[in-house]
A and B are shown apart, each in its own frame.
Chain A
């Protein structure tokens, strides 16, 4: 029997898994395909990716539901399969996790934007997110992870939806750009603004993922740790993507990634993992790093 996630998070640094999308590209997913469809059509592949992450030492598996809102799925003619996809994705991650890892129901950006960029409203997004989260919850994940959010307002809509539906731990990670004036989201939310609002809305942990490499995040990690009153999760990208004959690859090696990531583990950072371009090998290096810290 695993201890509850929050108990585990408060003990020492938790290791999340790495990328799903770039793993799927390397396994032959075409650019116009829907990654979420793979839990239905190529379940074994998703299961194996999750299992590889468990073998590498990940303690949290993230479901293949990043673009899983109805808005995204209907572009692929899959709106009617939202419930099937969400539920199968959780079941698949659970099967791979066994009793060795937690399962995080993944919620990415809705695909809609607020004015002046789009016509989204809080009510519209809350409904969109609620539909996806409700389906994920039917298969009892351990965590809801709202991630890669570039607009605090949208992240809060997702968080409100999740909070209304469950008492499970909820994490929210924003994606920040490094501007001349510091770290801001695409729409201009500062780190402290995000941390305060996300905590006030009832998240259990928060942080940053995607866009930036571990090196880029060296200044961000202490800023997050000092601004957040909750444990911080950090999931950097593996550098910038390079497309070759063997598909999309990332320049940063797993070893270099882990070396930089070690410097991200400042006080307050309670969890780490990888985003785009990372693989089970990256997670293995992080595992070794964390195990070494524990034994010191």
Chain B
């Protein structure tokens, strides 16, 4: 198989949500001694962008989006082993801290945003779900980030998001980081009201907003 064929097939594997093919193709790529970053930039990232486009057009739904993200994650896991032995350009990309707000156990949307951000070259620390405001701050103080993403899936839990921004204000860290929020009940106007910097209508939109807010390093 030529390198061009691997690129084409890997991109298709992401579109098809075929994690097994993605893993095998990434392995073949490394066996040929090729630059892992090239496969990320030419196959995994464009592949997940295709998936995002199909989602926005209403052709794809959550299962296809998650399967595509899984295919990217699986391919990345293989390629990252090689990247860790090189000077890793990914480590110089923007850092993101992400979590679902305290009291909210919903994980899927937040995890999807995390995977898509990784696929787009961001370094992501996922704090999980049910994350207290102080844990966002602790993670930031331990290692600063460019962006903090917070998700809430219920009207009853979204009201915890402003607490995170407030605690960053109280600790004089607010100006050092951008806040991106999302989740079913969250709207753009509400994001503005509470002083967040951006809002993602869905996972694909969240990545677009992240790119706009903190800039993507190519």
A binding-site residues for B, Cβ under 8 Å:
21-22, 24-25, 29-33, 35, 72, 75, 111, 113, 116-118, 179-182, 184-188, 211, 240-244, 247-248, 276-277
Q: Which of B30-38, B152-160, B165-173, B209-217 contacts A (4 or more CB under 8 A)?
A: B152-160
- Name the one of B17, B61, B160 contacting A187, with C-beta atoms under 8 angstroms: B61
Q: Tell me the bound Cα distance from A181 to B55 in angstroms.
A: 11
Of all chain A residues, which has the CB nearest B17? A116
Q: Contacts A75-B105, A186-B62 given; 18 further ones with Cβ under 8 A?
A: A21-B154, A31-B160, A32-B103, A35-B156, A116-B66, A180-B58, A181-B58, A184-B61, A188-B63, A240-B187, A241-B155, A241-B187, A241-B190, A242-B189, A242-B193, A243-B194, A244-B193, A277-B155
Contact (Cβ within 8 A) A181 B194: no
Can you list 24 A-B contacts with CB-CB less than 8 angstroms, sorted by A residue number? A21-B154, A21-B155, A24-B156, A25-B155, A25-B159, A31-B101, A31-B102, A31-B159, A32-B157, A35-B156, A72-B105, A75-B105, A111-B105, A116-B63, A117-B66, A179-B58, A187-B62, A187-B63, A188-B64, A211-B184, A240-B187, A243-B190, A247-B159, A276-B155
Shortest distance in angstroms between B164's beta carbon and chain A's nearest beta carbon? 12
Contact (Cβ within 8 A) B108 A113: yes
Residues of B within 8 A of A111 (CB): 105
Of all chain A residues, which has the CB nearest B129? A75
Q: Tell me the bound Cα distance from A30 to B160 in angstroms.
A: 9
Q: Tell me the bound Cα distance from A226 to B58 in angstroms.
A: 23
Tally of B interface residues using CB under 8 Å: 34
Q: Tell me the bound Cα distance from A291 to B140 in angstroms.
A: 58
Contact (Cβ within 8 A) B103 A241: no
Contact (Cβ within 8 A) B158 A243: yes
Q: Digit string of B57-92 for contact with A (CB within 8 Å is 1, else 0)? A: 111111110110010000000000000000000000
Of all chain A residues, which has the CB nearest B60? A188
Q: Tell me the bound Cα distance from A187 to B63 in angstroms.
A: 6
B binding-site residues for A, Cβ under 8 Å:
17, 56-64, 66-67, 70, 101-103, 105, 108, 130, 154-160, 162, 184-185, 187, 189-190, 193-194
- Given A241-B187, A242-B190: A21 and B156 interface contact (C-beta under 8 Å): yes
Q: Tell me the bound Cα distance from A22 to B162 in angstroms.
A: 18
Residues of A within 8 A of B56 (CB): 180
Residues of B within 8 A of A276 (CB): 155, 185
Q: Tell me the bound Cα distance from A242 to B192 in angstroms.
A: 11
Contact (Cβ within 8 A) A188 B105: no
Q: Tell me the bound Cα distance from A32 to B129 in angstroms.
A: 12
Q: Tell me the bound Cα distance from A117 to B154 in angstroms.
A: 18
Q: Tell me the bound Cα distance from A101 to B110 in angstroms.
A: 40
Shortest distance in angstroms between B79's beta carbon and chain A's nearest beta carbon? 21
- Name the one of B58, B66, B102, B190 contacting A32, with C-beta atoms under 8 angstroms: B102
Residues of B within 8 A of A29 (CB): 156
Residues of B within 8 A of A35 (CB): 156
- Given A117-B62, A184-B61, A242-B189: A33 and B103 interface contact (C-beta under 8 Å): yes
Contact (Cβ within 8 A) B156 A31: yes
Q: Tell me the bound Cα distance from A241 to B191 in angstroms.
A: 11
Contact (Cβ within 8 A) A31 B57: no
Of all chain A residues, which has the CB nearest B160? A31
Residues of A within 8 A of B61 (CB): 184-188
Residues of A within 8 A of B63 (CB): 116-117, 187-188
Q: Tell me the bound Cα distance from A29 to B193 in angstroms.
A: 21
Contact (Cβ within 8 A) A243 B102: no
- Name the one of A117, A184, A185 contacting B58, with C-beta atoms under 8 angstroms: A184
Q: Tell me the bound Cα distance from A35 to B155 in angstroms.
A: 12
Q: Tell me the bound Cα distance from A181 to B63 in angstroms.
A: 17
Q: Tell me the bound Cα distance from A118 to B62 in angstroms.
A: 12
Shortest distance in angstroms between A117's beta carbon and chain B's nearest beta carbon? 5
Residues of B within 8 A of A22 (CB): 155
- Given A32-B103, A113-B108, A117-B108: A241 and B158 interface contact (C-beta under 8 Å): yes
Shortest distance in angstroms between B187's beta carbon and chain A's nearest beta carbon? 5
Contact (Cβ within 8 A) B103 A31: yes
- Given A181-B58, A187-B63: A32 and B108 interface contact (C-beta under 8 Å): no
Contact (Cβ within 8 A) B108 A118: yes
Residues of B within 8 A of A242 (CB): 187, 189-190, 193
Shortest distance in angstroms between B186's beta carbon and chain A's nearest beta carbon? 8
Of all chain A residues, which has the CB nearest B111? A117
Residues of A within 8 A of B190 (CB): 240-243
